[in-house]
């Protein structure tokens, strides 16, 4: 285990994060948080955090002179895991320092665990928050919150691959880890150029959505923050009522479109640029992804058509198809892509709607997108494997190849995929149990525990009941929050990425 090289790269990450932090603080201070006095506190908090971060990063960088620059698979996995675990600590620091500088002892960010939770929720593009009164937060903090999501969405890893061309093999390996799904053809070769193209695509979509939201009536600030959260399928908003606070239908539609786009395999945009439309049309995962979105939306819309819709800001609408379609589709897209924006309080919806929403939380978006969950392609393969197992019960000697498009799924991948799905469900169960145990008797119910567990594991954001659309995660105990942080990073990196660190053989050379 080339641990020195891991630490060195981690140091680099801290420096890069600090620089971004600084840029955000300067931008916000120049444009939005112009007043002096208490409003300046966030700027100093960010300056101090950035200094601390780059100092720490510099020490890690210079102190770890690696024997070689080879980064094996184990090193890559360790680095990925530590990037998120350490990155969240650094990203949460300015939240905490802001309360210290401003002597805001009563604020939720005065508890370090809340800052860590918020930063982890940001970097993993989850969007679960411990905050209430989000509107009163200085613009600097809100922008940083959104930026952590945007960074997480692109993947600190892809950032590393794009920004630092000197890593060679690392790029390829970490990239495939970030892809978190069966490889797509045409993505892996020339990883460096590909990563740069992806970065530009991400940037292009970001600019497009920001302009669209501005034209739809949002302020530039809200447009930027919501775009960051959309493209990352994160879900942090600048308001307590989330997207429910914005009246125009155009805002809802724009965000729906870009959530769907963010949940598509980014490799397909690569194909699009190269004009390979047939490849896109034939993509099994894209078809399945859109089909699930369509069917789930239809079921949700029909099941709430007779219900009064209560918005996240308390407004209430009479039952009707208009609102049912608008909020049903928005919520379905938001939860399947694991964005987690809310317009209506779906916790009040009938059981069928909630059951469908929880199911699609498990499914998630496409592999190679910023979306969370098990991922559509895995669900498709898992279904095919289960069907073939069923057939084996009565035709043990018939071996039928399992195909996804033109590619045959290897036996290793078959086993790997259902192991992944089983692992996801077991982690969901373990998370639910942990929350029940960590909270005092009577404070936690099964629905809350179960949906908090899956919403964090699948990087969605809101759950049901006490962690529903109009609730937040502040009331949970510190152990519960830590457990949820672990679920978020485990889910973000694909079940095995964190668990491997617990495998005894991971630390042995053989």
Binding residues for its own copies (CB under 8 A): 73-74, 77, 350-352, 355, 382, 385-387, 389-396, 411-412, 414-416, 418-423, 425-426, 433, 436-437, 441, 445-447, 450, 496-497, 499-500, 503, 505-506
Pairing verdict, β 309-310 and 407-408: unpaired
- Of 28 and 450, nearer to its own copies (C-beta) is 450
491's CB contacts (< 8 A; 6+ apart) are: 124, 372, 373, 424, 427, 456, 457, 458, 459
- Of 197 and 355, nearer to its own copies (C-beta) is 355
- Of 177 and 485, nearer to its own copies (C-beta) is 177
To its own copies, the closest distance from the beta carbon of 102 in angstroms equals 40
CA-to-CA separations, 130 to 9, 188, 288, in angstroms, rounded: 31, 38, 34
To its own copies, the closest distance from the beta carbon of 64 in angstroms equals 21
To its own copies, the closest distance from the beta carbon of 367 in angstroms equals 16
- Closest C-alpha among 358, 492, 362, 485 to residue 422: 362
CA atoms within 13 A on the CB side of 40: 4
CA-to-CA separations, 54 to 32, 60, 80, 87, 90, in angstroms, rounded: 25, 10, 19, 12, 10
- Of 371 and 374, nearer to its own copies (C-beta) is 374
To its own copies, the closest distance from the beta carbon of 498 in angstroms equals 11
Pairing verdict, β 316-317 and 309-310: antiparallel
To its own copies, the closest distance from the beta carbon of 143 in angstroms equals 36
- Of 59 and 399, nearer to its own copies (C-beta) is 399
To its own copies, the closest distance from the beta carbon of 153 in angstroms equals 23
Rounded to 10 deg, the angle between the 411-438 and 446-457 helix axes is 140
CA-to-CA separations, 257 to 207, 261, 305, 312, 429, in angstroms, rounded: 14, 6, 22, 21, 33
- Of 58 and 416, nearer to its own copies (C-beta) is 416
Phi-psi region of 426 (alpha: psi -120 to 50; beta: other; left: phi over 0): alpha
**167: which DSSP letter?**
G
193's CB contacts (< 8 A; 6+ apart) are: none
**463: which DSSP letter?**
-
Distance separating alpha carbons of residues 125 and 428, to the nearest angstrom: 18
To its own copies, the closest distance from the beta carbon of 77 in angstroms equals 6
DSSP lists the bridge partners of residue 310 as: 316
Distance separating alpha carbons of residues 298 and 23, to the nearest angstrom: 43
Distance separating alpha carbons of residues 135 and 80, to the nearest angstrom: 33
To its own copies, the closest distance from the beta carbon of 304 in angstroms equals 14
247's CB contacts (< 8 A; 6+ apart) are: none
Helix (H) or strand (E) holding 334: helix 321-336
CA dihedral 249, 253, 254, 256 (to 10 degrees): 140
- Of 287 and 414, nearer to its own copies (C-beta) is 414
- Closest C-alpha among 151, 195, 154 to residue 173: 195
The phi, psi pair for 408, rounded to 5°, reads: -90, 135
- Of 248 and 429, nearer to its own copies (C-beta) is 429
CA-to-CA separations, 148 to 50, 71, 265, 309, 406, in angstroms, rounded: 14, 26, 21, 32, 38
To its own copies, the closest distance from the beta carbon of 296 in angstroms equals 14
To its own copies, the closest distance from the beta carbon of 385 in angstroms equals 6
- Closest C-alpha among 333, 192, 189, 205 to residue 269: 205
- Of 55 and 446, nearer to its own copies (C-beta) is 446
To its own copies, the closest distance from the beta carbon of 444 in angstroms equals 9
Q: Under a CB-based contact definition with an 8 Å cutoff, are residues 143 and 229 in contact?
A: no
**38: which DSSP letter?**
G
- Of 110 and 176, nearer to its own copies (C-beta) is 176
To its own copies, the closest distance from the beta carbon of 484 in angstroms equals 18
Pairing verdict, β 403-404 and 316-317: unpaired
To its own copies, the closest distance from the beta carbon of 414 in angstroms equals 6
- Of 221 and 383, nearer to its own copies (C-beta) is 383
- Of 116 and 420, nearer to its own copies (C-beta) is 420
- Of 237 and 447, nearer to its own copies (C-beta) is 447
């Amino acid at each position: 285990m080339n641990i020195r090289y891991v630490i060195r790269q981690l140091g680099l990450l801290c420096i890069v994060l600090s620089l971004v932090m600084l840029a955000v603080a300067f931008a916000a201070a120049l444009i939005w948080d112009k007043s002096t006095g208490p409003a300046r506190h966030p700027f100093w908090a960010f300056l101090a955090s950035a200094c601390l971060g780059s100092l720490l990063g510099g020490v890690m960088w210079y102190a770890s002179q690696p024997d070689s620059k080879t980064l094996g698979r184990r090193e890559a996995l360790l680095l990925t895991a530590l990037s998120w675990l350490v990155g969240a600590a650094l990203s949460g620091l300015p939240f905490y320092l802001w309360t210290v500088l401003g002597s805001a002892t009563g604020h939720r960010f005065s508890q370090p665990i809340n800052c860590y939770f918020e930063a982890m929720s940001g970097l993993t593009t989850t969007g679960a928050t411990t905050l209430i009164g989000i509107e009163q937060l200085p613009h600097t903090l809100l922008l940083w919150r959104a930026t952590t999501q945007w960074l997480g969405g692109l993947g600190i890893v892809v950032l590393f691959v794009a920004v630092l061309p000197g890593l060679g093999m690392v790029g390829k390996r970490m990239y495939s880890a970030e892809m978190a799904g069966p490889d797509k053809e045409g993505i892996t070769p020339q990883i460096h150029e590909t990563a740069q193209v992806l970065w530009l695509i991400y940037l292009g979509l970001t600019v497009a959505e920001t302009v669209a939201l501005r034209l739809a009536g949002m302020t530039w600030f809200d447009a930027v923050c919501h775009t960051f959260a959309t493209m990352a399928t994160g879900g942090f908003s600048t308001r307590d009522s989330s997207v429910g606070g914005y009246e125009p239908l155009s805002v809802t539609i724009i965000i729906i479109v870009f959530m769907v786009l963010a949940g598509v395999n980014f490799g397909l945009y690569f194909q699009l640029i190269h004009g390979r439309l047939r490849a896109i049309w034939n993509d099994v995962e894209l078809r399945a992804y859109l089909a699930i979105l369509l069917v789930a939306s239809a079921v949700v819309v029909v099941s709430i058509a007779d219900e009064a819709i209560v918005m996240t800001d308390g407004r209430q609408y009479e039952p009707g198809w208009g609102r049912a379609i608008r909020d049903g589709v928005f919520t379905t897209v938001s939860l399947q892509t694991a964005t987690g924006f809310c317009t209506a309080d779906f916790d009040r919806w009938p059981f069928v709607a909630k059951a469908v929403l929880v199911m699609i939380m498990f499914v998630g978006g496409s592999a190679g997108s910023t979306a969370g969950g098990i991922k559509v392609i895995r669900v498709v393969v898992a279904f095919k494997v289960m069907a073939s197992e069923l057939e084996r019960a009565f035709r043990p000697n018939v071996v039928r190849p399992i195909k996804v498009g033109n590619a045959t799924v290897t036996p290793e991948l078959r086993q790997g995929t259902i192991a992944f799905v089983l692992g996801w469900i077991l982690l969901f169960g373990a998370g639910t149990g942990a929350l029940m145990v960590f909270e005092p008797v009577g404070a936690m119910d099964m629905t809350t525990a179960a949906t908090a567990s899956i919403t964090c594991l699948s990087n969605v954001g809101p759950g049901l009941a006490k962690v529903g659309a109009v609730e937040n995660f502040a009331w949970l105990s510190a152990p519960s929050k830590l457990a949820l942080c672990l679920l978020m990073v485990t889910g973000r990196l694909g079940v095995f990425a964190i668990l491997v660190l617990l495998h005894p053989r991971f630390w042995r050379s053989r």
